Structure 1
Amino acid sequence: MGKRVLVISNMYPSRKNPTYGIFVKNQVEALKEKGLDIEIAVNKDNRGGKVNVLKKYGIWLLKTLIKLRKGRSFDVVHAHYIFPSGLPALLFKKLFHTKLVVTSHGGDLDQMAKKNRWIRKMTEYILKESDHVIVVGEALKEEVTTNFGVNEEKVSLINMGVNRQVFAPIDTEEAKKELNLSLDSQHILFVGNLIEAKGLRELLSAFQQLRQENKEIELHILGSKKNINFLHELKASIVPENRELVHFHGTKDQKVVAQWMAAADLFVLPSHIEGFGLVALEAMSCHTPVVASDVGGLSYLLKNGAGELVPPKDALSLAEGIKRVLEGASLREGMVSTGERLAQENDDEVMLKRIINLYG
């Protein structure tokens, strides 16, 4: 009989928001396939605004409290994001002595814990009370052990892992034909939420600088529109002669994202903050070179020639980095072979085994 696990997460995908916390769902489904008996208490509503936030968290909390009725039957409660998910998860530990595992994905420490002193205090309390803390990146591990004083033995660095069945290298030219992309152009790809913190302003500025020198490039942006005003601002910043060359494709499922990654000549992730940067690893798994900001988990993932690291919030440096990789054939080859090695090391199968061992 497999372990009985309750997964609590304030982010989880739905039909309407297929990419919202997709990595949590992927892990849950993969663990189920390994024979674990998993129930979920999750929030699938990604709307912002005070009224929506209060409503959605109220409903989610209610869903979680209903699970208390069968609290004794769970061996482990696994909270994704320290705060707020860790709070209801703590109830199970306190009431039923359930083993508590929390995963920090980055935003909970980089943003949430910095919102106010109470949230910071609660984050610290949840971390101290948990039986084990999983972090998805090196920088987060340092933060948890140094700034929050969590014993290093209680912290494991286990990222969400890359699904190599989905994110697999396929012939670039074939992938381009399938997506009706021009074979005469070089295609730059971004995948992520359309928010300021992902560095999209800098990306558009860098692309337009490069267009002045290189007429054969196109930019493709995949991801959900979080803020319509920000999207209008981005589109308004595109000069008329580039409008046909910047494509906003909306959200796509993972198979289609993998196809885009295989077709792209370069993947760009100019984030201002990033816990691990799984999407960059997924691009590497498809044998696509990566240019990204030198922040958070990306600094570790792309070091030693695995990718091109550039300073964040700096459009000029980003343009130079993109140009170096697009023009440097041997640089690209080195990135592809290092990327393949890292994708093997971070295969989600390897990561799942480590999580199952932690559940005990």
Structure 2
Amino acid sequence: MTQEPLNICLVAPLPPPYGGIAHWTQMMLRHASTVDGVQLAVINTAPTWRSIHANGLMVRAFGGALQLLRDCVRIAKTLSGRRFDAIHLTTSGHLAALRDLAVSYLAGWFGVGLVYHVRFGRIPSLAGGRSLEWRLIRRVMRRAAAVILIDAATFEAVRRAEPRANAVLVPNCVDTDALPRGVPGEQGVKVALFLGWVVPTKGVGELVEAWTRLNPLGWRLDIVGPFDEVYRDALLAGRTAANLRFLGQLPHEEAMKHMAACDLFVLPSYTEGFPNAVVEAMALGRPIIATDVGAIPEMLADGAGVLVKSRDADALAEGLTRVVGDEGLRDRMAGRALEKAHRLYTINVVFRAYEGIWRSVSGVDAMDSMER
């Protein structure tokens, strides 16, 4: 049976700056180009008005207001010039919730169904509260035709706090075909890798403290991601860092080569949604240490990794000591992570779920897509 083509307006960030959602957007575009009957048009919502450390309230409020206006104008122009079957809106919360509400009204004005994709892991702590952020997000959820949630804790929190929302649980994904293969590790040294923005909320301070305290023989820590030199210097002040390197931001393909060759991946974030870096490390068969936030406990369940408490350098040091000193444990974790990623998180599996939601929202061959 021939399906009607789908035209989807994807409201999401693209690099630069590089981040998890921006990478997901690139992955969606690349995969959609190989799928018959689905066309994605992206409205780029990347915050180009501040550096990674410019997080002051006034800076965020002023820059966010300008971006809200810019994004809404772009969306209105795009919707007025082309017919879409659905709008897929990604959100990381905070001030973006104001934009999300505006987009929900634009979707209603143009008669296009809204799919609201919540890409962060703080909903369980927000739900049921009285914060402005939660009230805005809850209102958007009510107006959306479907709400995509990326982890079970968020899904259950939304079901309890906003039962009128059409909530759907869909994890993030990885394009296994785009990952490097057969990348050899370094001779004479084992490498632990951090990949992400080098900011306090990624737990980089705790990681550097734990690593320099342990100073494991025969190991090196590579930190890959954009950083501010002042922050880096503050992290290293008074510490010996002979077995630690800050490599800066690398192209994604190069970063994946580092991940494929590493002996351990570490992500000690304070908060996460469903981190792409963790699912990529799983798909590459890397042993993983990560904090127990967002979807990570689900991802690393059943022995697929080691969980540690967030914001706790002592707990991270204990986890590192356990994993660095046990090659058998690393091998077991890596094998379980690899199997789980390929069973649950491949882009083919997840994209079919998205397509089913889009068709259901738009009414275009909805049942046929959901049955495939």
In the TM superposition, residue 289 of structure 1 has moved relative to its aligned partner by 0.1
C-alpha contact 1:6 1:78 (8 A) present in aligned 2: yes
> Aligned partner of 2:30: which letter?
E
Alignment of 1:188-227 (within 5 A): 188-211=192-215, 214-225=216-227
Q: Are residues 1:232 and 2:244 paired?
A: no
Structure-2-length-normalised TM-score? 0.84
C-alpha contact 2:121 2:274 (8 A) present in aligned 1: no
Alignment of 1:322-341 (within 5 A): 322-341=320-339
Deviations 1:211-231 (A, max 9, x none): 1xx332211111122x55433
Residue 358 of structure 1: aligned partner: 357
160, 165, 177: which one aligns with 1:146: 160
For 2:46 and 2:348, the matched residues in 1 are separated by 26
Deviations 1:99-123 (A, max 9, x none): 2111111167479989983332221
Distance 1:156 1:169, change over 3 A: farther
C-alpha contact 1:101 1:134 (8 A) present in aligned 2: yes
7, 11, 30: which one aligns with 2:10: 7
> Aligned partner of 2:223: which letter?
I
Residue 89 of structure 1: aligned partner: 103
For 2:334 and 2:125, the matched residues in 1 are separated by 32
For 1:27 and 1:111, the matched residues in 2 are separated by 29
In the TM superposition, residue 268 of structure 1 has moved relative to its aligned partner by 0.3
Sequence identity percentage: 22
Q: Are residues 1:80 and 2:90 paired?
A: yes
Distance 1:43 1:113, change over 3 A: farther
Q: Are residues 1:160 and 2:172 paired?
A: yes
**SS state at 1:325 partner:** helix
For 2:132 and 2:332, the matched residues in 1 are separated by 47
> Aligned partner of 1:59: which letter?
R
Structure 2 unpaired stretches of 5+: 360-372
Residue 180 of structure 1: aligned partner: none
C-alpha contact 1:188 1:217 (8 A) present in aligned 2: yes
Over the aligned positions, Cα root-mean-square deviation in angstroms equals: 2.5
Structure 1 unpaired stretches of 5+: 177-182
Q: Are residues 1:120 and 2:134 paired?
A: yes
Distance 1:108 1:315, change over 3 A: closer
> Aligned partner of 2:297: which letter?
S
52, 56, 64: which one aligns with 2:67: 56
Deviations 1:195-239 (A, max 9, x none): 11111111011101211xx332211111122x55433322325x2
In the TM superposition, residue 57 of structure 1 has moved relative to its aligned partner by 3.1
For 1:156 and 1:306, the matched residues in 2 are separated by 25
Residue 305 of structure 1: aligned partner: 303
The total of aligned residue pairs comes to 340
For 2:286 and 2:99, the matched residues in 1 are separated by 35
Deviations 1:7-61 (A, max 9, x none): 113x3213xx244722123223322331422222222334142443333333222
Distance 1:234 1:116, change over 3 A: farther
In the TM superposition, residue 148 of structure 1 has moved relative to its aligned partner by 3.3
Q: Which moved more, 1:33-42 or 1:120-129?
A: 33-42
Q: Which moved more, 1:314-323 or 1:113-122?
A: 113-122
C-alpha contact 2:121 2:293 (8 A) present in aligned 1: no
In the TM superposition, residue 311 of structure 1 has moved relative to its aligned partner by 1.2
For 2:129 and 2:317, the matched residues in 1 are separated by 33
For 1:111 and 1:168, the matched residues in 2 are separated by 37
In the TM superposition, residue 350 of structure 1 has moved relative to its aligned partner by 0.7
C-alpha contact 2:188 2:218 (8 A) present in aligned 1: yes
C-alpha contact 2:124 2:153 (8 A) present in aligned 1: no
Structure-1-length-normalised TM-score? 0.86
Distance 1:42 1:87, change over 3 A: farther
In the TM superposition, residue 309 of structure 1 has moved relative to its aligned partner by 0.7
In the TM superposition, residue 133 of structure 1 has moved relative to its aligned partner by 1.0
> Aligned partner of 1:199: which letter?
G
**SS state at 1:231 partner:** helix
> Aligned partner of 1:340: which letter?
L
> Aligned partner of 1:312: which letter?
S
**SS state at 1:119 partner:** helix
Q: Which moved more, 1:139-148 or 1:308-317?
A: 139-148
Residue 30 of structure 2: aligned partner: 29
Distance 1:110 1:145, change over 3 A: closer
In the TM superposition, residue 353 of structure 1 has moved relative to its aligned partner by 0.8
**SS state at 2:178 partner:** coil
Q: Which moved more, 1:141-150 or 1:183-192?
A: 141-150
In the TM superposition, residue 93 of structure 1 has moved relative to its aligned partner by 3.3
**SS state at 1:296 partner:** coil
C-alpha contact 1:175 1:259 (8 A) present in aligned 2: no
120, 132, 152: which one aligns with 1:106: 120
Deviations 1:289-341 (A, max 9, x none): 00011122111111221101111111122112112112212211211111111
In the TM superposition, residue 356 of structure 1 has moved relative to its aligned partner by 0.7
